Structure 1
């Protein structure tokens, strides 16, 4: 056993396929290295304790919002047969913004525990523990957050299918913007499920169309066709809005970005708040649109180039 175990993870961005991926359609996501998380774990003489921006103290008094952390660490402690621990979490990933915060926490914690115990950790084991945590956090997660926050390349993901990576050859920029409103992933996932029960034909049609848009988006990315990708992104957002997983704030920001010359824009993640993404042809366009959005009320923005492996 090491004195201290360390685990790290990145944030993630879902480019296409939100919600539809839960129903077997594909999604595209990639690690977002502009935001990161680090977990460190060591032996404690005073019971299991957590130090983080959301809770510091005994794990027995952890707030319900962190129930997934309590459940995951309890399981890891039992299955790896560890002593009582002191867990510290340091993160720059904004919580409840659709950037994979809860999955990244689980990735970092799992890696830290295995590192602490000097145990090899397979990708299969990592995804098992992360998906266990995500089920507690979100109810019926697609698994895409777990895959994207634990990897290092863009992924084409379909639930219960092999995850494949592909090159990101796109001469464009992606602006990630935070609405400042907490996303509501669990509520949005539940709402789509309820809509699917009430009107299966309507819901399935939109979900299938989002799946088709995602497949076309992968081809546009690999063929370096940013204008086409932008149109596909915007259409995907309209489909998601029809499924009631957007909101007025997101829609207004996206309309503003498009009116300022963005190639495309859409929500990213669970929706009903959180973040949205804007595709632009140049860095200058992205910075200009970012400033316009901040004046309009956006809380924060991040910029990432989408050329050959610029995201690494």
Structure 2
């Protein structure tokens, strides 16, 4: 069987008529817990997964950037000197946005060389597994090397976020890129989104014989559309009304005052973020002190908060979570930005078949499209492959 590395290199040669000079990859991510806390300066706890995006690269001598991929028919070409967010659109805004953002962050210090780039991936699109950050991170490490920029991983995460915010137009935080760039095997990335301090925390799933199942509902979502932006605006309004820089600064003890000050919808948005930050801290503490078998209740509480307070779940996600729990999962929650995508279920390995079959059956009985269910393992972050 030809693997993704070989497929990427072969496709590069077919498109550009020459061999790639280097091959890079970066993983998608699952957010174990900590949803919509990142842009509120809070805490998140994602991990990189064993689904990856590959980027094959070769230098050009004419100052032009060309990008192509296995998932879009059209290629894109633009002189580096013309890179600007308003000139980028479609799928190519992700890789070309990274090139623009890297130029911005280095303020011309990097040696800029034109390039041919081909992207290939097995990170599912639209499942809440951050296929976008996988593209951004793979391209970021590739161009950092090509241009001899010398940026550290945390700065490259900011490059990816800047690309997504400005070139793509999605108001996301920095969690996804941080997980894709900093991940390690069987470990999560505990990230403080205010300071960008990151700590790698062992998960212990392998020793505990646990599997994290991803249940992709195939309900599509888009971060660049209204639901995500509206939630972010509610959080900003809540912080302003409470007189704090960000909801990170609001504690559980502040919630009674928040209830008095805010309308019901804004209060519930705020309550989700405040309690979710606490759940992230509790999850990290629990993993350290008691191990992964003890975090299930926190995952369940996170889903209820996203369903009821932040209102970003869907009937399909709720069904996947409820069914997985009833079939033996230790904990389950939707993951990602919401309004579709995937749920995750922390499952003993000997229950995986039972949980998968139960969710499949439940979706069929409700008339929903068949979900795609697969296990993921915590994986290494972005790196050079060849």
Q: Give the TM-score band, short-chain normalised.
A: 0.7 to 0.9
For 2:360, which of 283, 291, 294 is the aligned residue?
Answer: 294
Alpha-carbon separation, structure 2, partners of 1:246 and 1:10: 25
Between Structure 1 and Structure 2, how many residues are aligned?
Answer: 305
Check if 1:284 corresponds to 2:302.
no
Is the Cα–Cα contact under 8 Å of residues 111 and 147 in structure 2 kept in the other structure? no
C-alpha distance 252-207 of structure 1, shift in aligned 2 (>3 A): same
Contact 1:245–1:271 (8 Å) recurs in 2 = yes
Does the 8 Å CA contact 2:153/2:182 hold for their aligned counterparts? no
Moved more, 74-83 or 103-112: 74-83
Residues 1:211 and 2:241 aligned together: no
Q: Which has the larger radius of gyration?
A: 2
Aligned to 2:194: 160
Structure 2 SS opposite 1:19: coil
Q: Whole-Å Cα distance in 2 between the matches of residues 76 and 194 of structure 1?
A: 28
Contact 1:95 1:182 in 2 (8 A): no
Query: How far apart, in 2, do the equivalents of 1:303 and 1:44 lie?
Result: 40
Q: 2:176 aligns with which of 128, 138, 145?
A: 145
Verify: 1:193 aligned to 2:260, yes or no: no
SS of alignment partner, residue 350 of structure 2 = helix
For residue 208 of structure 1, report the CA deviation from its aligned partner. Answer: 0.8
What is the TM-score normalised by the length of structure 1? 0.87
CA distance, structure 2, for counterparts of residue 253 and residue 22 of structure 1: 27
TM-score by length of 2: 0.71
Aligned: 1:36 with 2:77: no
Compared CA separation, residues 288 and 59, structure 1 to 2 (3 A): farther
C-alpha contact (below 8 Å) 1:3/1:116 kept by paired residues:
no
CA distance in 2, matches of 1:311, 1:81: 31
> What's the CA shift for 1:147?
0.6
Q: Aligned in 2, Cα 1:258/1:59: closer, same or farther, shift over 3 Å?
A: same
Structure 2: stretches of 5+ with no match in the other structure? 1-18, 79-86, 238-262, 364-368, 381-386
Give the stretch that moved more between structures: 171-180 or 230-239.
Answer: 171-180
Q: Give the direction of change, closer, same or farther, for the CA distance of 1:69–1:26 in structure 2 (3 Å limit).
A: same
Change (3 A) 1:118 1:6: farther
Aligned partners of 2:68 and 2:133: how far apart in 1?
18
